[in-house]
Structure 1
């Protein structure tokens, strides 16, 4: 498990697999989903953002509300979840990755269809068979985004539902006896015990 961090650069670098350089002008094209409020907030300019600009965007709530803390007084607002495919699972299509990201975001409590003041999050698919979801848990009003408890149990159950719905599980006859149900491996980075 990875501890929550204070700055978005660290989890974004891990998601991309390389350091983020402020002078790097390449547009980050591996973003597959993001928080629903981003379109109205940026008027569409986020389609041309670099990795450094995405990190800055995720860090903004921390700068705007520097003393925000969770119910335990912890002031490390960035959550980094990583979901990796089981080695025997089929590869999701390009259209599957945004759905996977949104479902994990919903089950992690990061977004809700009835709440328009949810926290900022972004899902990055830049490595094969892996999805990284990075969120700043500080909401626009400065309060902490509530999450289900226990979070890990919710995410494991959702991983199984996603694998079943999208047909990510392989045929047992072709792979032999499997000790675990293949599909999405449990996302654990950034989760506290």
Structure 2
């Protein structure tokens, strides 16, 4: 049975869909609601520091967690384009998850009409391993589209006018149930993204 997420202001839904975090070739499943509950969030500062993708030389640099258990993440894609992100680490059962969001607007930007119309979407990544390599995976979007076509009541999708967009509006509880139920289904996850420490890497504080 689908549990309803908290109501979202309509003004917040306008223009929210330009957030991108493409660590993996197929993109990632984004959600309106957080992927993790507060009591599921924890920290592991062995993740701090720089990691480089084994395939395409994209990189992530993770700062040690702060008081609210969030990590500042600097992501550089293979073309050198940089993005600043916030990550929260947690577990859903025995599945290790990182919930990625954009950072809050810088001081002085809050009054900008564009920021007032944006909602910080959550991007869900499954962490397969943390040592000696950091291995991430996410749900394959083609698989999710096909699954939702065959099981239209299991998750709710936000209609954006773009059929290729995949923004899930289900509650945190329903998202977690979907993850634990289907993350081992054949074809459900895309190709792993494997990151390694560069030779000169040191933990970042």
Task: Give the structure-1-normalised TM-score.
Answer: 0.26
Task: Give the structure-2-normalised TM-score.
Answer: 0.25
Higher strand residue share: 2
Higher helix residue share: 1
